[in-house]
Structure 1
Amino acid sequence: MNNVPQIVEINEIIKETPSIKTFIFDWDMDKFGVPSPGEFVMVWNFHNEKPMSISLIDEENSRLAISVKNVGEFSSQLHNLNVGEKIGIRGSYGNGFSNDIRDKKILAIGGGVGMAPINAISTNLLKKGNTVDVVPAAVTKEELLFADSLKKSGANVFPCTDDGSFGFEGFATDCTIGLLEDRSYDFAFVCGPEIMMAGIYNILEESKINAEYSLERYMKCALGICGQCCVDNTGWRICVEGPVFKNDKINKISEFGKYRRTASGIKQ
């Protein structure tokens, strides 16, 4: 783990969708360790710092990537960067996905930019002999993330869009119900809007499929000190005990799928 921001140069920028860009940079894995899929890094733009999921872990070429949706001032500043410019990276942090699974049937579900960590774990598990079915979900075709690249990597991809512009017309929950009618899975991974994940949780529990869910909360320190990302009921810190939780823990988080808090602690 690296608790001091390391200044890295952006080697490549991929415009994935109209609102999402992937930033690829070198990372000294011998010095700072190999991140696990599902972990996150703190990204510093020399003015502010925000947590970002790792979307690519390229051990062979010592590279990492983050995929960022342009939703506010910080992400907009990142989107304005060019190849050759620099950012600060510290981490990686958190509790990642289980990546020691081999020769199993895996279901991976990602909504919107929640496909970032899903891409990392799916790519990892494909290399270990697993059969991976991926459900990338988005509002419309242009916003589908990593559907093509995962298909090229060997995953079975079942895209779904809210507006029906590509793949299954409807939500990820509906698409998952359809898949489970004639398919079985040993394990599942889920990341996306929390209301979506709550629906998926109910579906997978009914089908008795163990799963892991990646949560998002407002994080400041990433070290478990500030308490900003604690969830009600359990007091678990998303930056330390999470962001990934197994299904037998996710049901103990009373706010899951219901609300979260702003930087000032107000429910939203």
Structure 2
Amino acid sequence: MISNVYDDEVPQVVTIKETIIETPTVKTFVFPWKITEDIHPGQFIMVWDLDKEKPMTISIIDRENNLMGITVRKAGPFTTNLYENVDVGDKIGIRGPYGHGYDLGKYKKVLAVGGGSGIASLAPLTSFYDNIELISAASTKDELVFVDRFKNIDVEVHECTDDGSQGFKGFSTELAENLIRDGDYDIIIGCGPEIMSYKLYELSLKYDIDCQFALDRFMKCGLGICGQCCMDDTGVRVCVEGPVFDKEQLGQLSEFGKYRRDASGSIVK
């Protein structure tokens, strides 16, 4: 029986139903999961494989077919194994979903900015809201994620590459400012490299609009118990109070856009 695990923190074993090669380094995994009203874009799950667990943002929330998906960029041993060795029919362990997602119910027009694989956090929003305008950014054309997925839905997408090989040439923050200056957005949201999110936060201050950004911190438990992902100066836990934070919360986090902590708790700028 497929179930979510709010009442049971033991990983549930799921069978991969579909895989999608998004780019030479990014792959999406789709699996059955009971989609309840408690599951929202911006939340994450803990994925178990190779006797280890890692937090992964939810990139697909299919309420009609009870399917969920994660999108993985191969980097270290864990993600490289998922990308290269896990395929349709294979099994992985899942627990969650956890965390606080995007809350966009009161906004009329939303500008969402995804940097690299950070677009995975934003992609499910198009299944929940019809007022989302997206910026999908990457270093080059071949690394743009969900190009075909976005082409098949009725949502405006602005593609952006550092080298100009596709769409706008330059950084996503430059394109975002151009759009904000000429548009009538109520809020800007985003997920990607933190320096990108911080610059978008500065734009929200400059143009006096709301913002919500998903932050990435080292997580061990996902439940708010271990304290590994606590943020200075407030001590808020990214895995519980985040990973999505609003404008007021971001203004209270002294480490936002400046540094993070590694697995040992040491500061990494």
Q: Is the pair's TM-score, using the shorter chain for normalization, greater than 0.5?
A: yes
How many residue pairs end up in the alignment? 261
Give the partner amino acid of 2:248.
D
TM-score, normalized by length of structure 2?
0.93
1:96-245 alignment, distance < 5 Å: 96-101=101-106, 104-126=108-130, 130=131, 132-245=132-245
2:13 is matched with 7
Aligned to 2:28: 22
> Match for residue 43 of structure 1?
47
Q: In structure 2, the residue corresponding to 1:224 is in which secondary structure?
A: coil
Match of 1:69 among 55, 60, 73: 73
- The one-character-per-residue Cα deviations of 1:178-237 (angstroms, maximum 9, x if unpaired) are 112321102222111000100011112211111111000000001100000111101011
- The one-letter code sitting in structure 1 at the alignment partner of 2:102 is F
Asked if structure 1 preserves the Cα contact closer than 8 Å seen for 2:35 and 2:62, the reply is no
Over aligned residue pairs, what C-alpha RMSD do you find? 1.3
Instruction: Give the secondary-structure state (helix, strand or coil) at the position aligned to 1:57.
Output: strand
Q: Determine the C-alpha separation between the residues in 1 that align with 2:180 and 2:217.
A: 30
Deviation track 1:140-187 (CA, whole Å, cap 9, x = no partner) reads: 011111234224211111111111111001101101111123211022
Letter in 2 for 1:43: V
2:59–2:120 contact (8 Å) kept in structure 1: yes
The Cα shift of 1:34 comes to 4.5
Instruction: Say which SS state the counterpart of residue 76 (structure 1) adopts.
Output: helix
Q: Could you report, residue by residue, the CA deviation over 1:106-130 in whole angstroms, capped at 9, with x for unpaired residues? A: 101010111001101233212xxx2
Amino acid at match of 1:141: K
Aligned match of 2:95: 90
Q: 8 Å contact 2:19–2:30 — kept in the other structure?
A: yes
- In structure 2, runs of 5+ residues without a counterpart are 1-5
CA contact (8 A) 1:46 1:87 kept: no
Distance 1:204-1:148 versus aligned 2 partners, 3 A rule:
farther
Identify unmatched segments of 5+ residues in structure 1.
none
Structure 1 contact 21–69 (Cα < 8 Å) conserved: yes
Aligned to 1:248: 248
C-alpha displacement of 1:254: 0.6
- The structural deviation recorded for 1:4 is 1.6
Q: Which moved more, 1:56-65 or 1:180-189?
A: 180-189
| Greater Cα shift, 200-209 or 226-235 | 200-209
After the TM superposition, which of the residue ranges 117-126 and 249-258 deviates more from structure 2? 117-126
Q: 1:168–1:175: 8 Å Cα contact kept in structure 2?
A: yes
In 1, Cα distance between the equivalents of 2:200 and 2:263? 27
Match of 2:3 in 1: none
CA distance in 1, matches of 2:261, 2:29: 28
Distance 1:29 1:173 in 2: 33
Q: Which amino acid aligns with 1:40?
A: F
- Is 1:108–1:122's contact at 8 Å kept on the other side of the alignment? no
Letter in 1 for 2:15: E
Q: For 1:115, give the aligned amino acid.
A: I
**Alignment check: 8 A CA contact 1:160 1:172 kept:** yes
| TM-score, length-scaled by structure 1 | 0.94
Which residue identity is paired with 2:100? N
- Amino acid aligned to 2:237: R
Equivalents in 2 of 1:101, 1:91: separation in Å? 26
Alignment check: 8 A CA contact 1:123 1:153 kept? no
